[in-house]
Structure 1
Amino acid sequence: MRYVIYGAGAIGGVIGGRLHQSGHDVVLIARGAHLEALRTDGLRIQSARDDVRLSIPAVSTPAEANITSGDVVILAMKAQDTTAAVAELASVAPHDIVVLCAQNGVDNERIALRSFAHVYGLYVFVVATHLAPGTVQYFTDPSCGILDIGRYPSGRDDVADRLSDEFQNAGFDSRSQPGIMQWKYRKLLSNLANALQALCEEDGDLGLERLTDLAEGVFTEAAACYKAAGIDCVTASDQDERIASLMPFANVDGHAFPGGSSWQSLARGSGRIETDYLNGEVVLLGREFGVPTPVNEVLQRTARRMARTGLAPGSVTPDQLRAEVQSAKNAVVLA
């Protein structure tokens, strides 16, 4: 069995690299300068315990990967790229491949299921960065992170059990979870603060102490949307217990973890950000079920604008956000 890592950035790079090190056949799909670095110098993985370069085959498209029925494809691109990526994959890959969704958000599995019958969700808690071509870092030790797996939309089977075992052998903490989307909906709540960090924290400070009121607004709206939509998820204490073994984060190359995935998108100047599938998911639920979501709407719009115009992380002050949120709330009242 071969693993095809479709999107070999921070998460995909760590997963693919460690699977390769544990003896699995792996191919990476990447693009641009990152792809060139992978082909020229290999994949560099830095962690608290080692700094290695791995020679792993790297290609630019699924067609170049020559995917066959026995392959496992791990989708690790950002959520905003999933629809196009799955369409490209479906044009060249057999319909019966196993597809794993290792992304933030809760829409990726549904997108994949339109084209592939064997879709699995991954609850990913891998504290990783990809800020330079050819290099990924992860900031937990001794575990590489958490990779829980379950069949989508629900269920546990032999495939999930086998893949969970292989993730464990590669250095991850992994469990086969029959209710994987309950875990991913909880992770979505955690990811809602990603935009706050990206917009207001120049250095990726994870404390968010200056933003407590905004964070509370984000989570309160999300909880109301979940209730209105009848969405069930595991509790915050369940998640805290699950990730406790990863704490505290380690330093890598003398540096602390700089910031989450949205912060990294702005720091790289990628021009795109996944907020539409994080805060935007709450906005969508609010519009479907009649729940006002002004805080999440402001974060979604602001993050999209910052990414499009190439603004760096921390370019918005908390007071600027508060003013926009208040304006949005006033508009809701007037409506």
Structure 2
Amino acid sequence: MRLICTPRSYGRLLQRHMIHSGVPSNKRCTVAIIGAGAVGSYYGARLHEAGHDVRFFMRGPNLDTCHVNGLTVQSIAGDMHIPASELQTFSNTKDIGEVDWVVLGLKSTALQVVPALVRPCLGQHSRVLAIMNGFVDDQLVDLLPEARSVFGGMAFICVNRISPGVIHHSFYGPLLGGLARVDPNQQHELELLEQLWQPTKVPFTTTPTLLRGRWEKSAWNIPFSGLSVAMGGITIDQIVGDQGLRKLAKQIMCEVVAVANADLQAHCGGDDWEPLGEAHMTKMWDLSDNMGPYRPSTMIDLLAGKPIEVEYLFSQPLQRAWALGVEVPYMHMMVTQIEAIQRMRNLF
């Protein structure tokens, strides 16, 4: 996995992605984007750009603005605009119809509404890719038994919606995907997922162990999104630029990696797994040191008084640490603060 922090290095990754994917890209897929916030809109726009038939589920001011002005993406990978005449938007997923792929860009706080939103779009061969934060995959499989396969996705990017219908994409890394549960046709399923993304500008890679991918993303999310919220809503440059917070973030990241490796060993067993280590943590810090005043989605929700992703992003990893007997005092302290903020401000 590579994390890309400059236009030049992004271009090198994109070139390798287009040359070495080795998967046919001639199939035009129907795709429903359910959860067209910053992440969903960005990836949906790239799929549309590549020629897929993309249908966006939107609501409120975002829907109203896109009906008039279309969808605009300001991106390190190249700006793009989908005019209103081309943009397919729907206020009800029942009107989208059955699709090949459902791409979920929802927050984990919305898991309870996933079946009602997704089922109208599912046919016999429909597959679901959940580009979501936290350890949500087992629950999604249980919620969507009708889906042919459920995949999890980890987006290593910096992207915000700066106004209705306008997405700003400032830093770029790969989209990592894997199956939520073991499938006897795993290789075929992963190839279909690769085929979806191969013609796009999105550097995409698959992982045979989704659990590892979730921990790779959590090694950044837990310390940085966590401290951003615990400090009342600060940007990433403030964390990396403060001596005390930088040290605390490093301590929390080390604890997360320790839990990740214990969890991977417990689930994978034997020698057939690769631990996270210094190389991955260095990549996380390289990304963070060059990120600037990025506002994580949890921080944005906190300041807006919206429900924040606590259970699957912070509480569950802490519970896994306890179950595995891994001591995580710094992580415990931070998660306790975040849970208290959620209770006191009723951000459920």
Q: TM-score range by the shorter chain?
A: 0.7 to 0.9
SS of corresponding position for 2:216: helix
SS of corresponding position for 1:5: strand
* Structure 1 residue corresponding to 2:104, chosen from 50, 75, 100: 75
Kindly provide the CA deviation profile for residues 173-220 of structure 1, in whole angstroms up to 9, marking residues without a partner as x. Answer: 112322232122221122111110233253442515331343244335
Per the alignment, residue 240 of structure 2 pairs with 207
- Identity fraction in percent: 21
Per the alignment, residue 216 of structure 2 pairs with 186
- Residue 26 of structure 1 and its aligned partner are, at CA, apart by 0.5
Question: Do the aligned partners of 1:279 and 1:297 also contact (CA within 8 Å) in 2?
Answer: no
- Distance (Å, rounded) in 2 between the aligned partners of 1:89 and 1:157: 25
SS of corresponding position for 2:307: coil
Unaligned ranges ≥5, structure 2: 1-28, 268-272
Q: Is the aligned partner of 1:62 residue 2:93?
A: yes
* Structure 1 residue corresponding to 2:253, chosen from 219, 240, 244: 219
Q: 1:180 to 1:242 in 2, by over 3 A?
A: farther
Per the alignment, residue 259 of structure 1 pairs with 295
Per the alignment, residue 18 of structure 2 pairs with none
* Structure 2 residue corresponding to 1:125, chosen from 142, 156, 160: 156
- Distance (Å, rounded) in 2 between the aligned partners of 1:73 and 1:37: 23
SS of corresponding position for 1:192: helix
Paired residue type of 1:170: T
TM-score, normalised with respect to structure 2: 0.73
Q: 1:208 to 1:44 in 2, by over 3 A?
A: same
Aligned-pair Cα RMSD in Å: 3.3
Per the alignment, residue 16 of structure 1 pairs with 44
Q: 1:225 to 1:234 in 2, by over 3 A?
A: closer
- Distance (Å, rounded) in 2 between the aligned partners of 1:227 and 1:235: 6
* Structure 2 residue corresponding to 1:148, chosen from 171, 176, 182: 176
Paired residue type of 1:219: M
Q: Is the aligned partner of 1:104 residue 2:138?
A: no
Kindly provide the CA deviation profile for residues 275-326 of structure 1, in whole angstroms up to 9, marking residues without a partner as x. Answer: 3222212222144345565543443343355467779xxxxxxxxxxxxxxx
Per the alignment, residue 308 of structure 2 pairs with 273
Q: 1:292 to 1:127 in 2, by over 3 A?
A: same
Question: Do the aligned partners of 1:196 and 1:299 also contact (CA within 8 Å) in 2?
Answer: yes
Question: Do the aligned partners of 2:155 and 2:176 also contact (CA within 8 Å) in 1?
Answer: yes
Per the alignment, residue 337 of structure 2 pairs with 302
Higher mean C-alpha displacement, 71-80 vs 204-213: 204-213
Higher mean C-alpha displacement, 235-244 vs 171-180: 235-244
Question: Do the aligned partners of 1:183 and 1:234 also contact (CA within 8 Å) in 2?
Answer: no
- Residue 228 of structure 1 and its aligned partner are, at CA, apart by 5.3
- Residue 15 of structure 1 and its aligned partner are, at CA, apart by 0.3
Per the alignment, residue 26 of structure 1 pairs with 54
Kindly provide the CA deviation profile for residues 254-287 of structure 1, in whole angstroms up to 9, marking residues without a partner as x. Answer: xx552222223234x0511113222212222144
Paired residue type of 2:246: T
- Distance (Å, rounded) in 2 between the aligned partners of 1:294 and 1:61: 45
- Distance (Å, rounded) in 2 between the aligned partners of 1:53 and 1:310: 38
Higher mean C-alpha displacement, 95-104 vs 159-168: 159-168
Q: 1:285 to 1:87 in 2, by over 3 A?
A: farther
- Distance (Å, rounded) in 2 between the aligned partners of 1:281 and 1:14: 28
Q: 1:32 to 1:296 in 2, by over 3 A?
A: farther
Question: Do the aligned partners of 1:271 and 1:310 also contact (CA within 8 Å) in 2?
Answer: no
Number of aligned residue pairs: give it: 299
Paired residue type of 1:288: A
Q: 1:154 to 1:224 in 2, by over 3 A?
A: same
Paired residue type of 1:178: P
Per the alignment, residue 285 of structure 1 pairs with 320
Q: 1:246 to 1:306 in 2, by over 3 A?
A: closer
Question: Do the aligned partners of 2:96 and 2:121 also contact (CA within 8 Å) in 1?
Answer: no
Unaligned ranges ≥5, structure 1: 251-255, 312-335
Paired residue type of 1:89: V
Question: Do the aligned partners of 1:122 and 1:149 also contact (CA within 8 Å) in 2?
Answer: yes
Question: Do the aligned partners of 1:27 and 1:57 also contact (CA within 8 Å) in 2?
Answer: yes
SS of corresponding position for 2:61: helix
Kindly provide the CA deviation profile for residues 122-161 of structure 1, in whole angstroms up to 9, marking residues without a partner as x. Answer: 2321221124222211113xxx541122222246423422
Q: Is the aligned partner of 1:196 residue 2:240?
A: no
Question: Do the aligned partners of 1:217 and 1:295 also contact (CA within 8 Å) in 2?
Answer: yes
Q: 1:14 to 1:296 in 2, by over 3 A?
A: same
SS of corresponding position for 1:28: strand
Per the alignment, residue 316 of structure 1 pairs with none
Per the alignment, residue 171 of structure 1 pairs with 201
Paired residue type of 2:234: E
